[in-house]
Structures are given as structure tokens and as C-alpha cells.
Amino acid sequence: MVRGSTATNDSRGVRPAPPRPRAGPTTDPRPGNSRAPGVVQRYIAKDDHPKIVYMPDTVDTTGEFQTSLRNLMGDHAVRKLTWGEFREIVWPGTLTVDRDNLPAWAAANLGRGLNQSDHQPVPMVDAVPAPDVLEVRRQFDDDMTVYHYAIGGNIAYGLPNSQSHLLKPYDMREAGDPLAHVLHTPSACVIQALDDFNVNVPGTHDHSTAAWHTYCRDHIPQIDYRTDSHYIRLYVGELHYRLKNNQVINWNNVNWNTLGGDGNYLVSTYPNGAPVGNVTGHMVGVVIHGGAVQTIHDRQNLTAPRLAGGNVFVRYIFKM
């Protein structure tokens, strides 16, 4: 379990570290989008500077946020910008002549014997369609998702393979007290799920819950798996799993094929309904086969018995 406004747990299988996030697709399903924005997103920068991360200047990027961002997105430097500054990076020099108002300007300024210095300014208009500006502004203000823009391509409007997920800002924090020497339940659900999937502690052939607890407790810096930001260190930073979902949704509405199809997942659940306020989640392991749930690993039996009631919700989902 994890503590937090929406505490949840993630996980990843023992695999090589994932490559750095790549630019999104160069095609856009929406008609009329043919410009090249020249950046890779509100958070991740240009292909020629792939390790720069653009963020709103109002975001606090210190402490656990910095750690979680690094674990989820790789090693990136942060550059804070205002919306205006970021917009100029996406669409530099986008003003063009306002042809609708040009005839009226010409009639008032040309052929009247005026010096050029006496002409009114030529009417200009923003060349970027307003819906595009609104969409990019929405992405810039989104504090839970990283949107990748392709150099020389189009802005990726919410395509799953053009996004990377972040933790909810409130969930990126430390626990109030050190991880105890003695293994505690129910917070051990985070590492019990690893035990259930036979994921060995690095450098050993031991996948027991006790071995994982010792590994986390003695790790430098310590991995406090009771908190969201720290099990991110474990699941993503150590085991290289990928965060596939960070939205609160009903268990019955999870589309496993969209998340990655068949395989093993670590899922932060809320057995008693959608989380409100400071709620603790419960981590379970899920095996998907044929696009459907085949097996649920729930050592503490908190979530599995309640699935039939239709009131189980999930937030963070990691694919191993």
C-alpha cells in the first residue's frame, strides 16, 4: 500500500532500461494539421536537445517531483517557461498578413499621397488556428502527462504512443517516518506483488517479500515503498517497468489492450470506491491473457473479493 491522496502502486519486470522517450508519430488523425511545431512537447524538448524538459514556470520541480520525473522520464534537465515563451518555441513567428482586412487597409493608406511613415500598420493575424493553440495550451498545463511532438511532423493530439505519464503531484512525496526494520502489512502489498510474480531481488535468486523489504530498507538512498514516489523508484527506476495509466477509473472500464495487451501488470486499486481525499491504495498483480483478466495476485485479499460489486477503482497501472 501507499500513502497519498490517491496512493497507488506501480511495478515493472526485470528488463533492460527503456530507451529515452522518442518523438511521437509524424501523422495526425485530425484534418488540416500540417505544420511542423519544432519541439517535442510541453515537457520534453527538441530532438536536437533531447535531454531538456520544458515545464510551466509555476510548477515546483524540487524534491520528490524531481526524483519522480527522473525515474519516469529518464535523466532530463528542466527548463521552466511561461506559456508565451513555450508557444513561441512551438510556433515561432506565426503572424501573417490579415488578407480579409487588407483591402480596407490599402484603401485607407495607398494612393492617397501619404508618406510610408504615415501608413497605418499592416493588419496581421495569427497563422495558428485557435483550436490548435487551445490544445497545446491544455497540454502545457497538464501536470500528469508528457506529450511528445515530432520534429518536422505534427503535434500528437492525445495519441497513446505520443504520451508518457507522471504521478499526481500530491503523490510525489516522502513518508513521514523511516521504513521500519520489521516488515509491516498492509503496506507490503507493493513488494508482495513482486514476490507473487517471482521477480528476484537484483543480484539474487530470492524473490520473497522479506528479501524485497530488506533490499528497499538497505538501499542507498532508501526506497520507502509505502509512498508513491518511492515505489516509482522501485518499479520504474530499479525494475524498468512502464507507467501505463495515472487516471482514476473503474476497474470494469480498464482497456487492457490499450494499455499494452497481454502480460503482467501491477495495479494500484481502491477496493471501496473512487478515492476521495487522503486515501490509501492497495497494490495487486494482474495477468492479462486474450485481452481479459486471467489471474489476480492479491496476497491480502482486499481487492479481489470486491470486484464483482463493480465499485473497485484503479489509478496507477504499470506493465511489467
Q: Are strands 313-319 and 249-250 parallel, antiparallel or unpaired?
A: antiparallel
Predicted pLDDT at 50: 55
For the segment 96-143, what is each residue's pLDDT rounded down to a tens digit?
888 888 899 999 999 888 998 999 999 888 888 888 888 888 888 888
Mind listing the pLDDT tens digit for each residue in 238-253?
Answer: 999 999 999 999 999 9
How much of the chain is in helix, strand and coil states, percent to nearest 5?
Answer: 30, 20, 50
Higher-confidence residue: 174 or 242? Answer: 242
* Cα dist from 124 to 94, 98, 264, whole Å: 10, 5, 55
> In the structure, what pLDDT confidence band is assigned to residue 23 with cuts at 50, 70 and 90?
very low
- Predicted TM-score of the model (pTM): 0.71
Report d(CA 133, CA 42) in Å as an integer: 13
Cis bond upstream, residue 221 (ω within 30): yes
Specify the range with the lowest mean pLDDT, choosing from 3-7, 85-89, 211-215, 247-251: 3-7
On the question of pLDDT at 254 being above 60, the answer is yes
- For residues 241 and 314, give the distance between their C-alpha atoms in angstroms, rounded to a whole number: 17
Q: For the chain, which residues make up each domain, given as ranges?
A: 95-126, 175-319
Q: Report the pLDDT value the prediction gives residue 149, as an integer from 0 to 100.
A: 66
Measured distance CA(60)–CA(68) in Å, rounded: 13
**Count of C-beta atoms within a 10 Å radius of residue 21:** 20
